């Protein structure tokens, strides 16, 4: 069973994507009375129309996530026009702490996939609160950011998005770091196909497009849901897929006790390996900005986190 905590725009859309893939039965959880039940009924009817036999249920009780192999957390406040992801930090920190305490209690053997922003910090909170090994707590960040970079690169070069393999590391936010030498088009490094000025244009578009979507329609929904689905597919089908996700670093890239977006191997155990890339001095300096921003953010959290050994 897969449980989704948070039945708002993103959580419910994640449920639709996963249901249509036919992965497993779904449980939707939310604190709003009636919301998860109504979403579950609506999705169940959709599946019936398509002839897909899955059970979808909604609940306001965390105990109903018992037995979940995978828990997806999309609870909390979303960005509003003009907000950065980090602006949400202390609004969502207490919510995520409470959610993760319930996950620890009712689904202690699950893999925990985080969606709530600011994603790197919320994933760090989840790691500290649950006590789960780092392999079982990660965020969907780079899979989403990569899909946006992929779109812009394909459009710029006039190629299919299927030809583009993106690579982004660092903060899921203003300091995200797309890498030209590791983003490839048909196996050719992007750095060989566009000049530095054009690549910087692509970086700027990738960093800013979520805010543009939010300004136009109020929230990003379909892109995040698709990114979650890609990760869930890699987990449930043990694909050993090299993807990007926010994971806890334990010496990789020279950092410890911080969550950032890095390339990882995703399989049935979750994050089965963190892949370290050889970076230039300029790229290392840019990555340091992500670390400094996230470390400063964590120091300003308005909640107390349990210590981990």
237 is in an annotated binding site: no
CB atoms within 10 A of CB 162: 9
79 is in an annotated binding site: yes
Check whether 160 is labelled as a binding-site residue. no
Are the beta carbons of 302 and 94 closer than 8 angstroms?
A: yes
**Any known ligand binding at 85?**
yes
- Residue 38: phi, psi to the nearest 5? -65, -40
Q: Are 288 and 153 in contact (CB under 8 A)?
A: no
Known binding residue 292? Answer is: no
Query: Are residues 20 and 229 in contact, defined by beta-carbon separation less than 8 angstroms?
Result: no
Beta bridge partner(s), residue 138: 113
Answer yes or no: 106 catalytic.
Answer: no
Torsions phi, psi of 63, nearest 5? -65, -20
Q: Which of 45, 106, 172, 222 is catalytic?
A: 172
192 is in an annotated binding site: no
Residue 142 marked in a binding site: no
* Residue 146 assigned as binding residue: no
Tell whether 266 is in a known binding site.
Answer: no
SS3 of residue 239 by DSSP: coil
- Residue 92 annotated in ligand binding: yes
The answer to the question of whether 143 is labelled as a binding residue is no
What is the distance of C-alpha 287 from the center of its chain?
19
9 is in an annotated binding site: yes
Residue 148, annotated ligand binder? Answer: yes
CA 294, chain centre distance (Å): 16
Query: What's the number of CA atoms in the CB half-sphere (13 Å) around residue 8?
Result: 17
Tell me the CA distances in angstroms from 11 to 26, 59, 63, 220, 267, one per residue in order.
Answer: 12, 14, 18, 12, 22
Pairing state between β 111-114 and 137-139: parallel
Asked whether residue 302 is marked as a ligand-binding residue, the answer is no
How many Å apart are CA 139 and CA 65, to the nearest integer?
Answer: 19
Binding site residue list for substrate: 79, 85, 117, 148
Residues acting as catalytic residues: 172
Binding site residue list: 6-11, 30, 79, 85, 92, 115-117, 148
Binding site residue list for NAD(+): 6-11, 30, 92, 115-117
């Amino acid at each position: 069973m897969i449980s989704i905590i948070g039945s708002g725009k993103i959580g419910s859309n994640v449920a639709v994507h996963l249901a249509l893939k036919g992965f497993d039965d779904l449980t939707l959880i939310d604190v709003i009375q009636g919301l998860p039940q109504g979403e579950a009924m609506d999705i169940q009817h959709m599946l019936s129309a398509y002839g897909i036999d899955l059970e979808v249920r909604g609940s306001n009780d965390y105990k109903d996530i018992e037995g979940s192999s995978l828990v997806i957390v999309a609870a909390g406040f979303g960005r509003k026009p003009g907000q950065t992801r980090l602006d949400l930090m202390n609004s969502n920190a207490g919510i995520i702490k409470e959610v993760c305490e319930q996950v620890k209690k009712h689904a202690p053997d699950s893999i925990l996939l985080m969606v709530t922003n600011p994603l790197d910090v919320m994933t760090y909170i989840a790691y500290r609160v649950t006590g789960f090994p780092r392999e079982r707590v990660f965020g969907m960040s780079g899979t989403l950011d990569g899909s946006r970079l992929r779109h812009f690169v394909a459009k710029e070069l006039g190629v299919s998005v299927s030809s583009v393999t993106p690579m982004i590391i660092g903060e899921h936010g203003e300091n995200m770091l797309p890498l030209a030498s590791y983003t490839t088009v048909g196996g050719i490094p992007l750095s060989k196909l566009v000049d530095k000025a054009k690549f910087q244009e692509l970086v700027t578009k990738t960093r800013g497009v979520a805010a543009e979507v939010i300004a136009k329609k109020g929230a990003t929904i379909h892109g995040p849901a698709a990114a979650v689905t890609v990760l869930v597919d890699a987990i449930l089908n043990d694909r050993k897929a090299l993807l990007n996700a926010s994971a806890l670093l334990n010496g990789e890239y020279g950092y410890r006790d911080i969550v950032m977006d890095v390339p990882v191997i995703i399989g049935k155990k979750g994050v089965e390996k963190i892949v370290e890339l050889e970076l230039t001095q300029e790229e290392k300096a840019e990555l340091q900005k992500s670390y400094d921003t996230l470390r400063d953010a964590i120091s300003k959290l308005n909640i107390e986190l349990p210590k981990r050994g």
